[in-house]
């Protein structure tokens, strides 16, 4: 196998590895997104439960106020019945005053109860809205989770496909060169092979020395960039535009 072909295989390997890394990066986002969706539903459910609790409190308060009011009304009725049995004007006046006070208190309590009932109407509206928001959130979450599952499957398929292609490309690179490639890849943010276009290394965007440029044109040896230490090749020499039509 010519060096040109080896360099092409390396170039291909590099592209596959970049694709794998890109895919892995996207796949990593899935569990993060899943957690966000779940948190959104949990927040909507919490809001619904809070509205429910507010309404429950209101209803409990209403029942308490109604019972109290009923007791007070019964008391007033009893006192009113007793008025007829009273013989002394002083006692009569005293009880009448008590009755007046109790009636006024009951009026205030009745107003309070009305306010609670009005508040309950608003709370019901709030609860309905929160319930609707919750079920909308749940439905959207379910749909998106299913979509994410489909994407996970798709990623799995693509990854399996890339692995097959990678094994094939790796076979075309001799073990020592492959080990060198892996070592540089680890040290250089996943990119071990860079094309030189013009006089510029695409790995670090710095110009290579003129002498090295001439060596690269021959494509007869494995060279590395003096600046970023990546394996470099001349794009024009390894994949000349004319070669594709030949």
Taking CB under 5 A as the rule, does residue 195 contact Zn ion? no
Sequence-distant (≥ 6) Cβ neighbours of residue 187 within 8 angstroms: 229
**Is the Cβ of residue 58 or residue 224 nearer to Zn ion in the bound state?**
224
- Shortest separation between residue 195's beta carbon and Zn ion, angstroms: 10
- Shortest separation between residue 13's beta carbon and Zn ion, angstroms: 18
Q: Which residue has the tokens 């990623």?
A: 155
Taking CB under 5 A as the rule, does residue 216 contact Zn ion? no
Candidate list 44, 193, 203, 219; residue touching Zn ion; CB under 5 A: 203
**Is the Cβ of residue 37 or residue 195 nearer to Zn ion in the bound state?**
195
- Shortest separation between residue 201's beta carbon and Zn ion, angstroms: 3
End-to-end CA distance of the chain: give it in Å, rounded: 19
Taking CB under 5 A as the rule, does residue 145 contact Zn ion? no
Q: How far apart are CA 79 and CA 11, in angstroms?
A: 103
Taking CB under 5 A as the rule, does residue 191 contact Zn ion? no
Candidate list 204, 216, 219, 238; residue touching Zn ion; CB under 5 A: 204
Cα separations in angstroms, 93 against 41, 77, 88, 103: 64, 16, 9, 15
The piece of 6-14, 61-69, 165-173, 197-205 that touches Zn ion (CB under 5 A) is 197-205
Taking CB under 5 A as the rule, does residue 228 contact Zn ion? yes
Buried b (16+ CB within 10 A) or exposed e, 206-231: eebeeebeeebeebeebbbbeebebb
Sequence-distant (≥ 6) Cβ neighbours of residue 9 within 8 angstroms: 169, 170, 172, 173
Taking CB under 5 A as the rule, does residue 223 contact Zn ion? no
26's tokens: 């996207």
Q: Which residues bind Zn ion (CB under 5 A)?
A: 201, 203-204, 225, 227-228
């Amino acid at each position: 196998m010519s060096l040109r072909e080896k360099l092409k295989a390396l170039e291909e390997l590099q592209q596959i590895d970049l694709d794998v890394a890109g895919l892995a990066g996207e796949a990593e986002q899935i569990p993060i997104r899943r957690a966000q969706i779940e948190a959104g539903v949990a927040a909507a459910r919490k809001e619904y439960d809070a509205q429910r609790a507010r309404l429950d409190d209101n209803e409990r308060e209403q029942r308490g106020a109604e019972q109290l009011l009923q007791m007070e009304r019964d008391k007033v009725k009893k006192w009113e019945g007793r008025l007829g049995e009273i013989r002394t004007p002083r006692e009569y006046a005293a009880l009448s005053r008590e009755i007046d006070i109790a009636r006024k208190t009951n009026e205030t309590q009745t107003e309070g109860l009305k306010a609670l009932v009005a508040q309950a109407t608003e709370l019901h509206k709030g609860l309905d809205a929160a319930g609707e928001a919750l079920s909308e959130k749940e439905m959207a979450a379910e749909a998106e989770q299913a979509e994410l599952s489909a994407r996970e499957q798709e990623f799995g398929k693509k990854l399996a496909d890339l692995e097959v292609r990678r094994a094939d490309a790796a076979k075309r690179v001799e073990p020592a060169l492959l080990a060198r490639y892996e070592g540089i890849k680890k040290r250089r943010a996943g990119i071990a092979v860079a094309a030189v276009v013009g006089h510029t290394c695409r790995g670090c965007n710095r110009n290579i020395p003129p002498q090295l440029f001439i060596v690269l044109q021959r494509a007869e040896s494995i060279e590395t960039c003096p600046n970023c230490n990546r394996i470099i090749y001349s794009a024009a020499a390894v994949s000349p535009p004319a070669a594709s039509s030949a």
